Chain A
Amino acid sequence: MKTIRYIVLMALVFLPLAKTMAQHFPVQATFYSKPPYPIFLSDYANPVGQNLTLKVLLRDLNLGPTQIYFRFRISSNRMTVGNPSFRVNMPIFTLTPGIVQTFTQADFGKYFEWMNLGMNPFSYALPLPEGIYTFSVEIMDALTNKPLSKSEQLPPVWLIVNDPPLLVQPQNESIQKIQNPQNLVFQWTPRHRQANTVEYEFVLTELLVPDNFNGNLQNLFLSQPPYYRTTTLNSSFLYGPTLPPLIAGRTYGFRVRAVAKKGFEEIGIFRNDGYSEVGIFHYGEKNRAPVILSARWGNDAKPLITWKGIERHAQFEVFYKRTTDAQEASFPYFSLSNPYLQKVGENTYAGKINAVSDVKSSYTFRVSGITGVTGEASLFSGLVTLPPIDWSKITIYGITRDNEDYLGLLAGKSRKDNPNPLVATCQNPRVNPTDTKTNAIVLGDTLHAGGTDVVVVSDEYVKALIKTPSGGTTDVKLYYSADFKINQYNELISGYLTGEVTNHRIKLLSSGNAVGEEDITNQQLISLGVRTDSLKVLANQFHDQSKQQLSYTTAYRYISVISTSLPILLNLLKAKHVLLQESIQVLNGELAKNLPNQQRTQLQTMRTKLTAQSNETQRNMDRLGTYIQNFGGRKFPNEVQGLLLPQLFL
């Protein structure tokens, strides 16, 4: 049994040998190959290629010099190409018996040309698909077209189609930080094997992207010449300060091509010809319009806007206008090229518009960012509207609503930091009154509410004078709540004042022809054409006007202007004084009559107040007169003016 098995085995081993030995060929060929194996057939036709070598020996010494040609065949499981069995346009070689002759691609390269492989030029131009290939060759007799050798096969080779490199750094479509000096590292990862000596061709292209371009940036890459190209053996490349300058704000495309090197010959064994994808990066952020993050009233009653730009913005322009002003398209904005720029974060700035003083109007803002890079227009942010300070949301004493903390802001102290922020303009505010005896309210009274003094100007509302940190005053209209009461010291003991319209009227003592039990029905006052309230309001208005006049005047550079404006102010004061005197006379006339006690007391109080005001006005007039006499018409710089003027109304 064992012997049978042995015989069968031996037969199996030697049978193929016996068969091949039976056929005797006069030529012995040895086929050598050397990797890397090109995937383009044209590379085998290249006479300087060294992939294939053939050693041929004509063993039959009886034969004379014999003319031969080759039949190469390349086969895989998908395709087979090879030379035809007849010689067309292929070189002929002569073999001398007994001598080993070596043929290289320089000799038989022509056999791998497309016409000799029976292919059309385009399928010849395509790379061979990846896979296992067998190269074989037969030596043919040129005269008889009969094979002189057996088909000599190379060991199967795996033709590899390598993938092109993969870009790592910088990331596609990324924004690269501008550095001074430039220092940008490019990295890619190779995805090839077999080809050990690979060179990378690095190409950087400058892309001037037009504003109206909305296509794939690769279009531009393919239509522009390289800005910089180099060849490197590493998979990293440093674009340093010694290379052509990168311009801030421009877009660049880059691509790496892997090229296998063998000797001095390039061998195409890469997909997409070894080209990687095209990577795009922006050197410095592309100019973008700034974004207004917030617009609010600052604590000095000036609009404060915050916006975010990009790093490359060299300058911002802030535009503002009253919202109700003309159309935005006609650009009637004031331009404030350099507001007081304050950096509040990364690329975030805050600016104050000092030119705005009217808190009761709505304003609209926009910011433009300028990079200073050629070809980049300044871009505008969207319009942001700042609503006016909404006094209806403000309530004093038992504050109900002040969402925006306007009062706190105006008073210079935020309620968030200070629970009792309101700075009173009165000398002795009493926020928590101890006296609870109610007192009547008279027009022109100064009431102490919530630490602030307010002036009664109507039976509907009071006027609150709020000091702003910048030194001015702003008046606020505040309405009475229900059950609004004051004590003998004019301190609020019940109810509150609110900016919201309450439609609640209080009973005013001696409020002219207003409806009420305790009204004075004074025909003489009425026949004078003035109501007591309007009279007092008028007086107050004059006072305010004169103060305003003065504050305008200080805005001028030289005091010479005062020579014209101060006399006007003096006239205003005189008019006020005259009115006050007239009112006092009317009151005197009233008091001379027989009056109930309470009413008499109130009229007396009013007279005292008017007299006090009259005296004050007289004093101011005197001082102003002296001032004009001494300094009027002379030019004084601001500093001197600043020293002198405040003395007037102290």
Chain B
Amino acid sequence: MNKLCTFSVISFWLVSGFGSFGQTIDLGALQGRDNKVKVSGGLSGNVVYNHSQAANIPPISLFLSGNLNVSYRNFNLPLSINYSNRKFTYSQPFSFNFVTFRPSYQWISAEIGTCFMSFSPYSLSGHQFQGVGLTLTPNRWSVSAMYGRLFKATDGNSELQQLPTYRRMGMGVKTVYKSDHFTLGLSLFNAADKPNSLAHLSEPLRPQPKENMVVGLEFSTMIFRKLEVSAAYHSSSLNADTNQPDSSGIARQKSISGWLINKSSLGQSYNSYRFGINYNLSKSNGIIGIEYQKVDPDYITLGGYYFVNDFENLTLKYSQSLWSGKVNLSGSLGLQQDDIARQKSSGQRRVVGMANLMFSPSQRLNAGLTFSNFTSYSFVRTAFDEIRRLNPFEQLDTLNYRQINQNISAFVNYTLSQTETRVQTINVNVSQMQSVAKQGDVVRVGQQSGFINSDITYNYQLPQKAQSIGVGVNTSFNSIGTQNSFSVGPLFHVQKGFLQSKLTTNTALSYIYSKDATLETSAGAFNLRESAQYNWDKKNSLSANLGFTQVSGSTLAGRTYVSATVGYINRF
């Protein structure tokens, strides 16, 4: 009955989306002025060479990517292929390699093969699936629908601690209607494990099959051409074990998504809300915005990947342009809170602040200042507190842990001289990042880190010859935990074009001498970054780049990292 319900809702939206189908056929195209079948596309191949002691990355990997589009009149049939022999699997079989057909005709387009579709971060969120996706955009409507396999059935591997997975099928539809004054969207997403896909495994080895239903509502409008209001609501119901139907009807879910899903004693419903207002202060060239977001504890959707849940978030944003754009000021302040249901043993409150100031008083001078602060306060409730608690409303917050991350960075670009043939500039960058963790107002040893990095570069450019040369110095002071180090080194970069600028090269060189005050060691790091691009003609281009790092030190053995890529792009 519920399935039927779901289906009828989906088909209603589909039908309403098809409402204006007959009106927009391009007769001119059908009458056939151009009867040729056109083939176009592109092929790109990259070979990546890696030499690295830091990870088990294969030394040579191949990346191939191709597009082929066959078009006839208004009908397009593009095919996308991606292939790489660089593979890695964590626990689920995700793959880089895929083949997708994307036929389209006017406002109808489809995806067949390995597809990706996104409804919302709290619903179907770009999860890979094997199947069919359909997008219709007649007039003011936009309808996306999908059906496919999210996971394939795997038997798991007890040695690698990988659990078996059922074949998980997903289907969903999102309909958006845009009028001149508002936008309204509704999305439905259902994912369910197919219990019979693991029928060959014995009963105790089978995990609990899950089912998920997400209903999403979106709305946005513009009032008085200045006030923009947007809101989104998602309700997700998860049936953690479809083998245990709720016969007694006790676990009645009072949520939209729960109404559409099969009842189960292990069912849970979660909600997420987002509400935002932006106001355009047109008189003073400013924008002010407020956003509120709330995601229930353990909010889960089978259409996405892990994301942070159980939080409330309030953000205030403001941006202002002054003196006809010579000064741009923007800032935001956010308050976040964890453990909104107050069930966990510890909660956290976070204050996130950011300010950004850019000013360019003249054409020669550009400067900017960015400051951000991220402070998190952890409140810990101990078991003792819980037992001692006299009434459920008593506040049990104990400030126990505080982490402060502060970043400040500034840059100044100054043009010393500028003519049509020669430009000289000086760039200065300074950044400081600091991270302090306090436990009960005490900073423990090793809980403080600071990074100061600065560089000054002089650039000499010959724009007509596409050449530029830069020389500079980089210094940094880093303290991580108990380790302090100071680094200094020269840097150099050159950019040059050859063969009537068909070949462009970019080289950056730097050497860093680093002295560790705590360990009394020193190390030198040589960095080379090189990139070259050769445009053979409009259709063919070759490119290559190289990243090379060599580290040698007084105590540690020398290390070399190489990442080199050669690529070829052909368009036809």
A residues at B contact (CB < 8 Å)? 120-122, 125, 130, 132, 156-158, 160-163, 166, 168-169, 179-183, 185, 187, 189-194, 208, 210-220, 222-230, 233-238, 240-248, 272, 275, 277-278, 314-315, 331, 337-338, 340-346, 370-378
Contact among A223, A247, A275, A345 with B95 in the assembled complex (CB-CB below 8 Å): A223
Which of B7-15, B268-276, B283-291, B400-408 is near enough to bind chain A? Answer: B400-408
* Pair A157/B383 contact, Cβ less than 8 Å: yes
A272 to B300, CA, bound (A): 12
* Pair B551/A242 contact, Cβ less than 8 Å: yes
Interface check B24, CB cutoff 8 A: no
A-B pairs with beta carbons under 8 Å apart, 6 shown: A181-B527, A223-B87, A242-B559, A247-B563, A314-B495, A373-B545
B171 → A minimal CB distance (Å): 17
Interface check B561, CB cutoff 8 A: yes
Chain B residue contacts of A181, Cβ below 8 A: 474, 489, 491, 510, 512, 525, 527
* Pair A374/B565 contact, Cβ less than 8 Å: yes
* Pair B529/A340 contact, Cβ less than 8 Å: no
Q: Residues 386-421 of chain B: 1 if any A CB is under 8 Å from the residue's CB, otherwise 0?
A: 110000000000001101010100000101001010
A187 → B minimal CB distance (Å): 5
* Pair B493/A180 contact, Cβ less than 8 Å: yes
Chain A residue contacts of B115, Cβ below 8 A: 215
B569 (CB) vs chain A CBs: closest residue: A377
* Pair B346/A160 contact, Cβ less than 8 Å: yes
Chain B residue contacts of A314, Cβ below 8 A: 495, 504, 506, 531, 533
Contact among B346, B405, B447, B549 with A245 in the assembled complex (CB-CB below 8 Å): B549
A194 → B minimal CB distance (Å): 8
Q: Residues 520-548 of chain B: 1 if any A CB is under 8 Å from the residue's CB, otherwise 0?
A: 00010101010111010010010111011
Chain A residue contacts of B418, Cβ below 8 A: 342-343
Chain B residue contacts of A179, Cβ below 8 A: 429, 453, 455
A193 to B559, CA, bound (A): 37
* Other 14 A-B pairs with CB < 8 A, given A180-B493, A181-B491, A236-B405: A122-B204, A122-B207, A166-B376, A180-B527, A213-B82, A216-B304, A222-B89, A222-B94, A223-B89, A234-B435, A241-B549, A337-B500, A342-B463, A378-B535
Known: A156-B383, A241-B512. A375 touches B565 (CB 8 A): yes
Known: A187-B405, A244-B54, A247-B565. A372 touches B523 (CB 8 A): no
* Pair B86/A224 contact, Cβ less than 8 Å: yes
A177 (CB) vs chain B CBs: closest residue: B429
A289 → B minimal CB distance (Å): 15
B360 → A minimal CB distance (Å): 7
* Pair B543/A373 contact, Cβ less than 8 Å: yes
A122 to B566, CA, bound (A): 47
Contact among A162, A244, A346 with B563 in the assembled complex (CB-CB below 8 Å): A244
B172 → A minimal CB distance (Å): 15
Contact among B88, B100, B366, B527 with A224 in the assembled complex (CB-CB below 8 Å): B88
* Pair A378/B563 contact, Cβ less than 8 Å: no
Interface check B280, CB cutoff 8 A: no
Known: A345-B363, A378-B541. A219 touches B116 (CB 8 A): yes
* Pair B208/A122 contact, Cβ less than 8 Å: yes
Chain B residue contacts of A344, Cβ below 8 A: 363
* Pair B543/A375 contact, Cβ less than 8 Å: yes
Interface check B127, CB cutoff 8 A: yes
B225 → A minimal CB distance (Å): 25
* Pair B533/A371 contact, Cβ less than 8 Å: yes
Contact among B87, B208, B401, B510 with A193 in the assembled complex (CB-CB below 8 Å): B401
121-137 of chain B: CB within 8 A of chain A: 125-128
Chain B residue contacts of A212, Cβ below 8 A: 65, 67, 80, 82, 100
* Pair B545/A374 contact, Cβ less than 8 Å: yes
Known: A223-B95, A224-B96, A242-B525. A216 touches B118 (CB 8 A): yes
78-96 of chain B: CB within 8 A of chain A: 80, 82, 84, 86-90, 92, 94-96
* Pair A183/B126 contact, Cβ less than 8 Å: no
* Pair B464/A340 contact, Cβ less than 8 Å: yes
A227 to B549, CA, bound (A): 14
* Pair A225/B476 contact, Cβ less than 8 Å: no
The number of chain B residues touching the other chain, given as a range, is 35 or more
B residues at A contact (CB < 8 Å)? 42, 44, 46, 48, 52, 54-58, 63, 65, 67, 80, 82, 84, 86-90, 92, 94-96, 100, 115-116, 118, 125-128, 163, 204-208, 304-308, 310, 338, 343-346, 348, 350, 360, 363, 366, 374, 376, 378, 380, 382-383, 386-387, 400-401, 403, 405, 407, 413, 415, 418, 420, 423, 429, 433, 435, 437, 446-447, 449, 451, 453, 455, 463-466, 474, 476, 478, 480-481, 487, 489, 491, 493, 495, 497, 500-502, 504-506, 508, 510, 512, 514, 523, 525, 527, 529, 531-533, 535, 538, 541, 543-545, 547-549, 551, 559, 561-563, 565-567, 569, 571
Contact among B58, B96, B360, B565 with A345 in the assembled complex (CB-CB below 8 Å): B360
Known: A120-B204, A169-B407, A374-B545. A211 touches B510 (CB 8 A): no
Chain A residue contacts of B374, Cβ below 8 A: 168-169, 187, 189
User: How many cross-chain pairs have Cβ atoms below 8 Å apart between A and B?
Assistant: 328
* Pair A375/B46 contact, Cβ less than 8 Å: yes
Chain B residue contacts of A241, Cβ below 8 A: 487, 489, 510, 512, 525, 527, 549
* Pair B464/A223 contact, Cβ less than 8 Å: no
* Pair A219/B128 contact, Cβ less than 8 Å: yes
A65 → B minimal CB distance (Å): 37
B404 (CB) vs chain A CBs: closest residue: A189
Chain B residue contacts of A161, Cβ below 8 A: 344
* Pair A373/B474 contact, Cβ less than 8 Å: no
Q: Which 3 A-B pairs have CB atoms at the shortest separation, nearest pair first?
A: A215-B116, A245-B547, A216-B126
A122 to B209, CA, bound (A): 11
Chain A residue contacts of B44, Cβ below 8 A: 211, 375, 377
* Pair B455/A225 contact, Cβ less than 8 Å: no
* Pair B548/A245 contact, Cβ less than 8 Å: yes
A390 → B minimal CB distance (Å): 28
Known: A223-B96, A227-B57, A248-B529. A210 touches B435 (CB 8 A): no
Task: Tell me which of A125, A208, A343 has the highest count of chain B C-beta atoms within 10 A of its own C-beta.
Answer: A208
* Pair B52/A244 contact, Cβ less than 8 Å: yes
A203 → B minimal CB distance (Å): 9
A184 → B minimal CB distance (Å): 10
Task: Tell me which of B55, B118, B343, B478 has the highest count of chain A C-beta atoms within 10 A of its own C-beta.
Answer: B55
Contact among A132, A180, A189, A218 with B376 in the assembled complex (CB-CB below 8 Å): A189
* Pair B549/A242 contact, Cβ less than 8 Å: yes
B242 → A minimal CB distance (Å): 14
A564 to B152, CA, bound (A): 82
A210 to B97, CA, bound (A): 10
A227 to B204, CA, bound (A): 38
Chain B residue contacts of A210, Cβ below 8 A: 63, 65, 80, 82
Chain B residue contacts of A370, Cβ below 8 A: 504, 533, 535
A526 to B289, CA, bound (A): 80
Chain A residue contacts of B386, Cβ below 8 A: 132, 158
Known: A180-B493, A314-B504, A337-B500. A243 touches B464 (CB 8 A): no
* Pair B501/A223 contact, Cβ less than 8 Å: no
Known: A241-B525, A342-B418, A370-B533. A225 touches B204 (CB 8 A): no
A230 → B minimal CB distance (Å): 8
* Pair B547/A246 contact, Cβ less than 8 Å: yes
B547 (CB) vs chain A CBs: closest residue: A245
Contact among B306, B474, B480 with A180 in the assembled complex (CB-CB below 8 Å): B474
Contact among B46, B350, B466, B549 with A338 in the assembled complex (CB-CB below 8 Å): B466
* Pair B566/A374 contact, Cβ less than 8 Å: yes
A375 to B405, CA, bound (A): 36
* Pair B208/A337 contact, Cβ less than 8 Å: no
A185 to B480, CA, bound (A): 11
Contact among A125, A225, A247 with B56 in the assembled complex (CB-CB below 8 Å): A225
B463 (CB) vs chain A CBs: closest residue: A341
Chain A residue contacts of B561, Cβ below 8 A: 243-245
A380 → B minimal CB distance (Å): 11
Task: Tell me which of B67, B497, B545 has the highest count of chain A C-beta atoms within 10 A of its own C-beta.
Answer: B545
